[in-house]
């Protein structure tokens, strides 16, 4: 039996795992989706080919459809797609779909099963370039299935009328489907109030009213305001009294230190305020209002990208049935999610910022290894640095359950670190502690803070893996933190500075695994951005990563680096995939590993999988410029140009100076034939960062626009630069291709091969090389590189 997944990103899985290759290219997944939603009579062949290949003539459309049916049936080992006269239908005994299971559960009245199966929107993020009618069909079916899901959720909520806490959970899931419905908002409020949580009911009313006013320009139903007024004057229920402060679950034995962070909790309450009564399990992330709606004072530009990843909440939490009802704390919510805000630097030394930032980064890294705990990535965390953001607003915006906040002070060889853990749903403090240690204990402290945080969130049953004994003295550890601080800035000078810091850490502490890992990371990225010749950057990166794993085989970062080197220098896709998967297994919250794995997938033409991995990276670190930009890059390679433009535009809203946005935007616009806009974007990219790649892209754009003299001037500069040291040969080849000189372009590609240019893994998917693909020398080069790809999704068979 093969299982067809259509809720979320589509896929086909068999007894031996996911089906890859031609059978699951974009058009063939579309074919399976159309048939999965058909009646038992099937769908007319003409209807299917018209949806999938609208620009093909009748004969060509019929051939493409027949080939797709053949490819699918070949993959499933039989007639998964049956031909019955002029109609096609799925054989349910060979291919079972989640949509069929959803509707079967509805038919037999098993609403919980139906809700559990409908785990994400139908064909989320999926489309077929140029197939407008198919996209309309998807939208219509998605709306129909969502209505059916809503009816199931309402049935569950109504069935739980005698259990208001459980009813509130079902109603809130229903509200997530239509946050503008005042009818549903009122039912959520009534259930929360009946469960004894009037504060949550009033808070939901405020969020709903803001959504309706800001998004629709309308006033909410007056009944919402009337219910809020009634809740505010109603007497408190004696049954729902909350515990005294010292009895708040999860805070027993925590001392209140005068030097702990003294920022007021949400709403202005002090950290020692008593908790409100909480009768129902706190709502899982998926039940909250859409993230980008609640205002955060002073950080609106920072939050511009959150709407891009609106599906993050559903992806992480799923749609589980309500837990048993009773007095609960944050421990009741699984999976849990957390954001670690940058530690405030209170040190007298103005140069100490890197230490506070590095310690924050290490705490994030440690927490990211905990199974079941979703930790927001570093880039997003640091977007809120020094902003004094309200914890409840962060909870709503990022979809997190808790916020870890604090400060660090270094003076006279001593450390004083104060931290507090805040419940993001109500703004109350779960735990606070102050640590005073010698600076030599910094390494152990970050592990102690991570373990204490997890213990307060989920108890002692789950905790980070025990950290190995510190292999570094304080000076080496400080050098490592300084290296990570520079590595995250990702400029050529900062990466070179990072190498210096990591090398110093290694020299001081040769058995310090994380320092070796950092050195490998820095050298690998220097090679990717062509800041160093590949032959210099990648082998040394691999050596550092291997040394790190010899010292600590469970570090996720060096595994990702080995995958990076296997992909870009050794051109070994299988080895790269194994390394990336091992990194993700060890550190599921390490967003960089997901991003680099996505690079491998789209280099192999596995665009659907690449988009999924890149979205995971984005969800783990929703404000990461590189993760969000790289998603646009994946969409560009997949031929989804309008979606790529929209994605890159979102990144530009976040940071108008991020040069990669303009570089990739220029490439997308070139594919769309918008020459003037493309050149403008490429000039902006070159102005912001005149790297060899940016200048080569501009030269290519000028050549395509017929401005040969300008293109040749830039090209001459790049060739002179290459003669003096190094310039990206792969990009120079593409300039010659645009100038109509294929032989010279191929000569430069062959030179790129001699230099082991990392870009050669994209030979068969780079749209700027289409004009060379049929050339015998190009085919020979592809064979010499030997990088296994599976062909682009939706392309010709």
Q: Which pLDDT score, from 0 to 100, does residue 469 have?
A: 44
Q: What is the mean pLDDT of residues 410-419?
A: 80
Q: Which pLDDT score, from 0 to 100, does residue 429 have?
A: 75
Q: Which pLDDT score, from 0 to 100, does residue 40 have?
A: 73
3-class secondary structure per residue, 133-158? HHHHHHHHHHHHHHHHHHHHHHHHHH
Q: Which pLDDT score, from 0 to 100, does residue 113 have?
A: 92
617 compared with 319, residue with greater pLDDT:
617
CA–CA separation, 503 vs 497, rounded Å? 10
CATH class of this structure's domain 160-234: mainly alpha
Residue 105 confidence class, pLDDT cut points 50, 70, 90: very high
Q: What is the mean pLDDT of residues 36-64?
A: 87
Q: Which pLDDT score, from 0 to 100, does residue 248 have?
A: 32
25 backbone φψ class: left, alpha, beta (φ>0; ψ -120 to 50): beta
Burial of 592 (0-12, 13-18, 19+ CB in 10 A): buried
Q: Specify the range with the lowest mean pLDDT, choosing from 52-61, 85-94, 180-189, 350-359.
A: 350-359
571 compared with 367, residue with greater pLDDT:
571
Q: Which two tokens stand for residue 501?
A: 């810091």
Residue 738 confidence class, pLDDT cut points 50, 70, 90: very high
Whole-number CA gyration radius for the chain: 28
Q: Which pLDDT score, from 0 to 100, does residue 350 have?
A: 60
- Does an H or E element contain 481, and which? helix 474-487
Residue listed under structure tokens 């992806």: 315
Residue 430 near residue 306 (C-beta atoms within 8 A): no
Q: Which pLDDT score, from 0 to 100, does residue 244 have?
A: 34
Q: Which pLDDT score, from 0 to 100, does residue 443 have?
A: 59
Q: Which two tokens stand for residue 263?
A: 């920022």
Name the average pLDDT for the chain.
79
Which DSSP state fits 289?
P
Nearest partner of 506 among 483, 529, 485, 531, judged by Cα: 483
Q: Which pLDDT score, from 0 to 100, does residue 596 have?
A: 94
Q: What is the mean pLDDT of residues 431-438?
A: 77
CATH class of this structure's domain 290-323+332-458: alpha beta
297 compared with 534, residue with greater pLDDT:
534
Q: What is the mean pLDDT of residues 658-667?
A: 90
CA–CA separation, 672 vs 679, rounded Å? 12
CA–CA separation, 80 vs 7, rounded Å? 20
70 compared with 257, residue with greater pLDDT:
70
Residue partners of 70: CB distance under 8 A and separation at least 6: none
67 backbone φψ class: left, alpha, beta (φ>0; ψ -120 to 50): alpha
Residue 654 confidence class, pLDDT cut points 50, 70, 90: confident
- Per-residue pLDDT of 609-638, as tens digits, reads 999 999 898 888 887 888 888 899 999 998
Residue 152 near residue 111 (C-beta atoms within 8 A): yes
CA–CA separation, 734 vs 577, rounded Å? 28
Q: What is the mean pLDDT of residues 574-590?
A: 91
Which residues in 625-759 belong to E strands, given as ranges?
A: none
84 backbone φψ class: left, alpha, beta (φ>0; ψ -120 to 50): beta
DSSP for 112-123, written as a single string? HHHHHH--S-BT
Peptide bond into 335 cis (omega under 30): yes
Q: Does the structure show a pLDDT above 60 at 94?
A: yes
Q: Does the structure show a pLDDT above 60 at 468?
A: no
Task: Measure Cα distances from 38 to 47, 96, 101, 655 in Å.
Answer: 12, 13, 14, 45
- Per-residue pLDDT of 210-265, as tens digits, reads 778 877 888 889 998 889 888 877 665 443 333 333 333 333 333 333 333 333 23
565 compared with 120, residue with greater pLDDT:
565
CA–CA separation, 260 vs 15, rounded Å? 54
Q: Which pLDDT score, from 0 to 100, does residue 788 have?
A: 58
Q: Which two tokens stand for residue 232?
A: 């505010």
Q: What is the mean pLDDT of residues 88-114?
A: 92
Which own/partner pairs from 69-77 qualify as long-range (CB within 8 Å, at least 24 positions apart)? 69/31, 71/22, 71/23, 71/25, 71/28, 71/797, 72/23, 72/28, 72/31, 72/32, 74/23, 75/12, 75/14, 75/19, 75/21, 75/23, 75/24, 76/2, 76/12, 76/14, 76/19, 76/23
Q: Specify the range with the lowest mean pLDDT, choosing from 105-119, 289-303, 438-452, 499-513.
A: 289-303
Most confident option among 204-213, 358-367, 374-383, 569-578: 569-578
Residue 656 near residue 520 (C-beta atoms within 8 A): no
Q: Which pLDDT score, from 0 to 100, does residue 579 have?
A: 96
Q: Which pLDDT score, from 0 to 100, does residue 684 have?
A: 92
CA–CA separation, 43 vs 48, rounded Å? 7
Q: Does the structure show a pLDDT above 70 at 454?
A: no
Q: Which pLDDT score, from 0 to 100, does residue 271 have?
A: 28
Q: Does the structure show a pLDDT above 90 at 104?
A: yes
Q: Specify the range with the lowest mean pLDDT, choosing from 372-376, 397-401, 488-492.
A: 488-492
Q: Does the structure show a pLDDT above 70 at 562?
A: yes
**For the chain, what percent of residues have pLDDT higher than 70?**
81
Most confident option among 57-71, 232-246, 560-574: 560-574
Half-sphere exposure of 195 (CA within 13 A, CB side): 31
Helices (H) and strands (E) in the chain — how many of each? 32, 13
Q: Does the structure show a pLDDT above 50 at 653?
A: yes
Q: What number of residues does the chain have?
A: 797
Q: Which pLDDT score, from 0 to 100, does residue 477 have?
A: 78
CA–CA separation, 480 vs 492, rounded Å? 18
Q: Does the structure show a pLDDT above 50 at 335?
A: no
447 compared with 680, residue with greater pLDDT:
680
Residue listed under structure tokens 């912001």: 688
Q: Which pLDDT score, from 0 to 100, does residue 276 have?
A: 30
Residue 84, SS3? strand
CA–CA separation, 306 vs 315, rounded Å? 14
Query: Interhelix angle for 442-458 vs 353-367, to 10°?
Result: 40
396 compared with 267, residue with greater pLDDT:
396
Residue listed under structure tokens 């309309």: 136
Nearest partner of 65 among 47, 90, 78, judged by Cα: 47
CA–CA separation, 664 vs 647, rounded Å? 11
Q: Does the structure show a pLDDT above 70 at 537?
A: yes
Task: Measure Cα distances from 16 to 2, 3, 5, 20 in Å.
Answer: 10, 11, 15, 11
CA–CA separation, 753 vs 734, rounded Å? 14
Task: Measure Cα distances from 312 to 337, 340, 591, 756 in Å.
Answer: 12, 18, 14, 38
Most confident option among 157-166, 293-302, 339-348: 157-166
Q: Does the structure show a pLDDT above 60 at 296?
A: no
Please report, for the chain, the start and end positions of each structural domain, with discontinuous segments joined by +. 2-151, 160-234, 290-323+332-458, 690-797
- Per-residue pLDDT of 346-359, as tens digits, reads 877 665 666 788 77
């Amino acid at each position: 039996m093969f299982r067809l997944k259509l809720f979320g990103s589509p896929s086909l899985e068999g007894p031996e795992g996911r089906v890859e290759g031609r059978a699951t290219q974009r058009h063939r997944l579309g074919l399976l989706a159309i048939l999965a939603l058909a009646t038992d009579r099937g769908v007319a062949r003409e209807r299917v080919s018209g949806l999938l290949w609208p620009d093909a003539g009748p004969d060509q459309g019929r051939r493409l459809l027949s080939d797709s049916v053949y490819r699918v049936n070949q993959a499933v080992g039989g007639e998964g797609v049956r031909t019955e006269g002029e109609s096609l239908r799925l054989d349910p005994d060979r291919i079972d779909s989640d949509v069929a299971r959803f509707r079967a559960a509805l038919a037999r009245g098993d609403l919980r099963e139906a809700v559990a199966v409908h785990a994400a929107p139908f064909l989320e993020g999926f489309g077929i370039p140029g197939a407008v009618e198919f996209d309309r069909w998807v939208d219509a079916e998605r709306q129909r299935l969502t209505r059916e899901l809503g009816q199931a959720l309402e049935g569950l909520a109504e069935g739980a009328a005698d259990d208001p806490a459980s009813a509130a959970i079902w109603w809130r899931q229903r509200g997530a489907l239509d946050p503008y419905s005042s009818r549903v908002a009122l039912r959520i409020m009534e259930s929360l109030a009946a469960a004894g949580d009037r504060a949550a009911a009033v808070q939901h009313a405020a969020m709903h009213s803001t959504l309706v006013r800001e998004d629709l320009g309308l006033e909410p139903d007056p009944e919402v305001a009337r219910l809020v007024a009634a809740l505010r004057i109603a007497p408190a229920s004696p049954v729902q009294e909350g515990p005294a402060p010292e009895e708040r679950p999860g805070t027993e034995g925590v001392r209140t230190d005068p030097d702990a962070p003294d920022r007021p909790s949400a709403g202005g309450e002090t950290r020692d305020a008593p908790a409100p009564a909480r009768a129902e399990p706190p709502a899982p992330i998926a039940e909250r209002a859409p993230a980008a709606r609640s205002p955060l004072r002073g950080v609106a530009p920072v939050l511009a990208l959150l709407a891009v990843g609106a599906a993050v909440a559903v992806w992480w939490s799923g749609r589980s049935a309500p837990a048993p009802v009773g007095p609960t704390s944050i421990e009741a919510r699984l999976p849990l999610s957390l954001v670690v805000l940058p530690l405030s630097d209170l040190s007298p030394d103005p140069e100490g910022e890197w230490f506070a930032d590095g310690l924050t980064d290490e705490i994030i890294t440690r927490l990211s290894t905990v199974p079941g705990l979703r930790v927001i990535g570093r880039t997003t965390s640091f977007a809120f640095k020094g902003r004094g953001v309200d914890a409840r607003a962060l909870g709503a915006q990022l979809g997190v359950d808790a916020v870890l906040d604090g400060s660090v002070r270094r003076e006279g060889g001593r450390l004083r670190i104060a931290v507090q853990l805040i419940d993001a749903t109500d703004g109350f403090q779960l735990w606070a502690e102050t640590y005073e240690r010698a600076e030599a204990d910094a390494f152990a402290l970050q592990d102690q803070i991570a373990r204490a945080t997890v213990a307060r969130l989920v108890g002692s049953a789950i905790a980070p893996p025990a950290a190995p004994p510190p292999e570094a003295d304080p000076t080496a550890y400080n050098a490592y933190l300084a290296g990570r601080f520079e590595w995250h800035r990702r400029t050529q000078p900062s990466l070179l500075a990072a190498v210096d810091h990591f090398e110093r850490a290694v020299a001081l502490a040769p058995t310090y695994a994380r320092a070796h890992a950092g050195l490998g990371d820095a050298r690998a990225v220097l090679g990717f951005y062509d800041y160093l010749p590949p032959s210099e950057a990648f082998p040394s990166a691999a050596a550092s990563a291997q040394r790190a794993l010899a010292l600590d085989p469970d570090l996720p970062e060096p595994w990702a680096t080995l995958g990076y080197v296997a992909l870009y220098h050794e051109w070994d896709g299988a080895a790269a995939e194994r390394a990336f998967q091992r990194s993700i297994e060890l550190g599921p919250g390490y967003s960089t590993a997901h991003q680099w794995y996505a690079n491998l997938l789209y280099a192999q033409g596995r665009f659907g999988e690449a988009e999924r991995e890149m979205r995971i990276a984005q969800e783990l670190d929703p404000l990461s410029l590189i993760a969000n930009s790289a998603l646009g890059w994946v969409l560009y390679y997949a031929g989804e140009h309008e979606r790529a433009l929209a994605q890159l535009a979102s990144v530009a809203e976040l940071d108008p100076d991020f040069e990669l946005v303009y570089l990739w935007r220029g490439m997308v616009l070139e594919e769309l034939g918008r020459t003037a806009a493309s050149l403008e974007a490429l000039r902006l990219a070159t102005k912001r960062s005149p790297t060899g790649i940016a200048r080569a892209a501009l030269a290519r754009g000028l050549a395509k626009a017929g401005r040969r003299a300008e293109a040749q001037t830039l090209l001459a500069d790049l060739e002179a630069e290459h003669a003096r040291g190094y310039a990206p040969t792969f990009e120079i080849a593409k300039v010659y291709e645009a100038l109509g000189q294929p032989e010279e372009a191929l000569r430069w590609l062959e030179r790129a091969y001699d230099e082991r240019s990392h870009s050669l893994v994209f030979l068969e998917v780079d749209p700027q090389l289409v004009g060379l693909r049929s050339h015998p020398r190009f085919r020979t080069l592809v064979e010499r590189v030997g990088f296994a790809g599976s062909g682009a999704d939706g392309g010709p068979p």
